[in-house]
């Protein structure tokens, strides 16, 4: 990876995506951009599928992040240089940015309490976005968000993309604990928490949707490519949903 601050604007533009970088001792990351875009996100998902299909024996596992694909391998069995060469060759086989969305996508409608004592950082996040709390909720609820990747915690989606006003940074301090089902916000994205966890993102909504069910036939509920609408509900409705089971009132339909 190169520090673009040390390059002239022309040189920075001349660098082409995607880029292959070593990641720690036993990993490589293939980045399809340095900012979130739908094309780069689709490319990352499609390229991971291609690595899995290639069936390279030295690869231990693969995953995607927002705009990058990761693979972990055994550097004691395959040299870093050989692995990198294999990745470059596979990259050259097609235009990954033109790859379609994954198959079998669904639209989920998820009942959500915004603000109140259940989600105490709505006002703060709205103010950072230069909006009233009411307007922030209206815009979020009106945006169909897509699961760009599953990560951080089991079954947990990164959802995007919110309107530009929501491009607010993470907070500098970690909130020690935010509950499972929390809707948290930063950098035009929403994460719906699958576990109780500390976070640097702002807690603006709360759901009863359980995303990780280790003993169920489908342990991880959401898939990359699925879309989500957060539908505002009252605290009373939220209380009633305690009886609604692991879906917490969420319903899904197939997307064409």
Partner 1 sequence: MSRTLTLLHAGPGLTVQDLGRPGYLAFGLSRGGAADRLALAEGGALLGQDAGFAAIEMAGIGGTFEASQEMRIALTGAPMAATLEDGTGLRWNASHILPKGARLTIGAVRRGSYGYLHVGGGIATPERLGARSVHLAAGLGARLRAGDVLPVGGDHGGPVDMGLEPEPRLEGGLLRMVPSLQTELFAKAELRRFQDVTFVRDSRANRMGVRLLPGGAGFALDGGLSVLSEVIAPGDIQVTGDGTPFVLMSECQTTGGYPRIGSVLPSDLPRVAQAQAGAEFRFAMVSLAEAVRIERRAAEDRARLRSRLTPVLRDPARIRDLLAYQLVSGVTAGTDLDDECLDTKEGRRP
Binding site for partner 1 (CB under 8 A): 1-3, 21-27, 29, 34-36, 48, 60-68, 70, 72, 75-76, 80, 149-156, 158, 169-174, 186-187, 194-197, 200, 212, 214-215, 219-220
Nearer to partner 1, 29 or 233 (CB): 29
Half-sphere exposure of 118 (CA within 13 A, CB side): 19
Task: Tell me the closest approach of the beta carbon of residue 75 to partner 1, in angstroms.
Answer: 5
CB nearer to partner 1: give 70 or 238.
Answer: 70
Of 97 and 158, nearer to partner 1 (C-beta) is 158
Based on CB atoms, which residue is closest to partner 1, 96 or 201?
A: 201
Minimum distance, C-beta of residue 100 to partner 1, in the bound complex (Å): 19
Q: Select from 230, 222, 223, 225 the least CA-distant residue to 246.
A: 222
Q: Report strand pairing: 182-186 vs 189-192.
A: antiparallel
Largest CA distance in the chain: 59
Q: Considering beta carbons, is residue 23 or 90 the nearer one to partner 1? A: 23
Asked whether the bond before 18 is cis by omega within 30 degrees of 0, the reply is yes
> Least distance in Å: CB of 182 to partner 1?
14
Tell me whether residue 43 is exposed, middle or buried, using C-beta atoms within 10 angstroms of its C-beta: 0 to 12, 13 to 18, 19 or more: buried
- Give the Cβ contact number of residue 121 at 10 Å: 20
Provide the minimum distance between the beta carbon of 167 and partner 1 in the complex, in angstroms, as a whole number. 8
Instruction: Output the smallest distance, CB 208 to partner 1, in A.
Output: 16
Is the distance from CB of 220 to CB of 182 less than 8 angstroms?
no
* Residue with tokens 């550097």, as numbered in its chain: 75
Give min distance, CB of 31 to partner 1, in A: 8
Among 224, 199, 220, 200, CA closest to 209: 220
Residues 6 or more apart whose Cβ sits within 8 Å of residue 242: 208
């Amino acid at each position: 990876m190169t520090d673009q601050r040390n390059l002239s604007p022309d040189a920075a533009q001349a660098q082409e995506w995607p880029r292959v970088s070593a990641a720690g001792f036993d990993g490589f990351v293939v980045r399809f951009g340095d900012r979130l875009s739908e094309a780069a996100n689709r490319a990352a998902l499609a390229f991971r599928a291609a690595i899995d299909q290639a069936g390279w024996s030295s690869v231990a596992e693969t995953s995607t992040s927002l705009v990058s694909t990761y693979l972990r391998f055994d550097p004691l069995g395959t040299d870093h240089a050989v692995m990198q060469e294999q990745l470059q060759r596979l990259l050259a086989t097609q235009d990954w940015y033109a790859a379609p969305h994954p198959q079998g996508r669904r639209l989920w409608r998820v009942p959500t309490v915004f603000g109140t004592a259940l989600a105490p950082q709505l006002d703060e996040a709205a103010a950072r976005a230069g909006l009233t709390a009411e307007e922030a909720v209206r815009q979020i609820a009106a945006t169909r968000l897509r699961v760009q990747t599953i990560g951080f915690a089991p079954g947990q989606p990164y959802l995007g993309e919110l309107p530009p006003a929501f491009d607010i940074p993470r907070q500098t301090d970690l909130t020690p604990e935010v509950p499972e089902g929390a809707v948290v916000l930063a950098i035009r994205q929403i994460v719906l928490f699958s576990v109780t966890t500390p976070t640097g993102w702002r807690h603006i909504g709360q759901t009863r949707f359980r995303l990780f069910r280790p003993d169920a036939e489908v342990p991880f509920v959401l898939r990359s490519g699925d879309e989500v609408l957060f539908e505002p509900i009252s605290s009373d409705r939220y209380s009633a949903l305690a009886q609604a089971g692991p879906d917490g009132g969420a319903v899904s339909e197939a997307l064409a």
